Chain A
């Protein structure tokens, strides 16, 4: 199986492909980053900025925007349900996968990730601009609902998964999994009271699926890691988590789009919810 043999190869585009579609009116390029000002310093020509906190999160409840909010966001970036969306960003595409996952909650169909993300585009010397594009607002129909039950896990789902001994994947760093640190390596403390992991979870850091240049490993390599070595099955009901749901979005994308797992839920409350919740069990090795 080669890198062409991903379960859904249409979910990834190369930098070459994107360079040829920069002005394609059917394509909208969306940058989503952790670095909140990075888009403003320069971005792929024509790309719009979708900010995970400002645009995708509800501003008062720890939750995502509702269908009306999504329709408003989609209209503001000038897309229709038929637009092909290309997501890219920093940190090996953590936040672009997160944005794609949130857009999936609202049923947008044609969405792809730029393999290698922002770093690869820039490393190849491709053009960037500070010019912010303005697209005519569209009328994006309000989705009938949010598909939480299909791709999103809540705390009770993760707890049930843990109690049932079903596949639960912790994609954080080994130090976070073991409870040796309560922050991400290279980040300050984000307010988690306890360290450890959800009982029964397997540690499979997100980086397992990525090459050093931020591109995804080949289908062969991914299958060997997740299916042959770790014994996860494409038909299993599987829950992935990290700290706030962005690194686990990366693994969710790998499992569902690249390996064809059919039933993967992203527990976006993740460790910042689990590690702080009263009377919820944790495990330390």
Chain B
């Protein structure tokens, strides 16, 4: 399944009312849970190939930008955050070429799934959805950077929240 097909499925609301995940992310999780392993892989590849969609676009402005190369990741990752009214977030992300395919896929999934989520929702987002998306076979040594982009997204949100609190106090 490719991301275009997923667009068509975007309106499918398979949302558990007790879900702790933002609606967009929940839809993606539900989709992956329903897929057999081979299709899961194909869909991950499709997401990985779409990372370019989530780079900053011409004319966009951001509240915070965090571009760095950490010890825990193979290449530079840039995270760009825009927070609009109602604390709704939008992420843009740039990835260096050495970043693993699985991490690229998770980048697209998170940017798409968290579009329009609120700052508190991102900050409280548990990471236990990752194995549901990538499947048990791909959870292994040397694939843990799949969690890295989420950590960076939560990190930039934390900085934004702390600065906002400081400004308000």
Contacts and interface: CB of A to CB of B under 8 A. Distances in A.
Interface residue tally on B, bucketed by range: 20 to 34
B124 interface: no
Chain B at the A interface: SS class: helix
Interface string B100-141: 111001000000000000000000000000000000011011
B94 interface: no
Given A41-B48, A186-B73, A36 B102 contact: yes
A36 B141 CA distance: 10
A136 interface: no
A36 B138 contact: yes
Contacts, number: 58
Nearest to B101: A37
Given A181-B71, A188-B144, A41 B137 contact: no
A270 B49 CA distance: 35
A188 B149 CA distance: 12
A133 to B, nearest CB: 16
Q: Tell me which of B48, B72, B74, B142 has the highest count of chain A C-beta atoms within 10 A of its own C-beta.
A: B142
Contacts of B105: 37
Contact of A40 (B41, B74, B142, B144): B41
A159 to B, nearest CB: 23
Given A40-B45, A41-B49, A54-B137, A188 B102 contact: no
Residue of A37, A41, A181, A183 with most partner-chain B CB within 10 A: A37
A188 B148 contact: yes
Interface of A: 34-38, 40-41, 53-54, 181, 183, 185-190, 244, 272
Q: Which 3 A-B pairs have the closest CB atoms?
A: A37-B101, A188-B144, A35-B100
Given A36-B138, A41-B48, 8 more contacts: A35-B101, A36-B101, A37-B138, A53-B140, A54-B137, A187-B74, A187-B144, A272-B141
